[in-house]
């Protein structure tokens, strides 16, 4: 069970970083890193299969998102590396050497998002700008890994 003092320390650290996290998420949401969906069989009305294709994000957007995350990690004291697993779709690896040879901790996530869909279906703001309403943040990736990546990578334990 988690020690209450540790719980309070973590909650306090998150509160302190809230503005930075919202700022970083807002910057990352503005990068339309839509995953390149492949041709896929999709059931059509009447039970017939159809083939649907989806256009990927503008060239370089996943690269741009990865580079932004890389900067966040480096600013938090991590050494980083971009590993291109597919053209224009790199993974960011950040490492922080610990003080002992104990266990390691790994954060894993993704930066691509699914298409935003028709703009008229968005009832709060633009999908590519983070909009804060009532203490909630809206935009592509704010409820997914763009938020999670910023929260994990903005400040690592022990980072200066």
Query: What is the structure's pLDDT at 42?
Result: 47
Q: In tens digits, what is the pLDDT along the chain, a chain of 160 residues? A: 568 888 888 788 878 888 888 888 899 999 988 887 654 444 445 554 444 444 555 656 889 999 999 998 898 888 899 998 888 888 888 888 878 888 877 777 788 888 888 888 888 888 888 888 988 888 888 887 676 666 555 555 444 4
Sorted by where each begins, the domain ranges of the chain are: 4-154
pLDDT at 43: 46
**Three-class DSSP labels, the chain:** CCCHHHHHHHHHHHHHHHHHHHHHHHHHHCCCCECCCCCEEEECHHHCEEEECCCCCCCCHHHHHHHHHHHHHHHCCCEEEEEECCCCCEEEEEECCCCCCCCCCCCCCCCCECCCCCHHHCCCCCCCCCEEECCEEECCCCCCHHHHHHHHHHCCCCCC
Q: pLDDT at position 71, please? A: 92
Q: Out of 3.20.20.30, 1.20.120.140, 3.40.630.10, 2.40.160.40, which CATH number does the structure's domain 4-154 have?
A: 3.40.630.10
Instruction: Specify the pLDDT at position 81.
Output: 92
What pTM does this model have? 0.73
């Amino acid at each position: 069970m988690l020690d209450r003092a540790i719980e309070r320390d973590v909650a306090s650290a998150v509160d302190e970083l809230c503005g930075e996290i919202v700022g970083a998420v807002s910057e990352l949401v503005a990068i339309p890193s839509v995953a390149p969906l492949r041709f896929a069989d999709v059931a059509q009305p009447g039970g017939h299969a159809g083939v649907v294709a989806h256009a990927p994000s503008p060239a370089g957007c996943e690269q741009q998102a990865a580079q932004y995350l890389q900067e966040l990690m480096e600013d938090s004291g991590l050494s980083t590396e971009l590993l291109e697993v597919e053209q224009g779709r790199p993974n960011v690896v950040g490492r922080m050497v610990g003080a002992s040879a104990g266990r390691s901790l790994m954060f894993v996530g993704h930066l691509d998002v699914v298409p935003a869909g028709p703009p008229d279906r968005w009832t709060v703001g633009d999908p590519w700008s983070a909009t804060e309403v009532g203490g909630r943040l809206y935009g592509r990736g704010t409820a997914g890994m763009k938020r999670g990546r910023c929260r994990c990578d903005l400040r690592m334990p022990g980072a200066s």
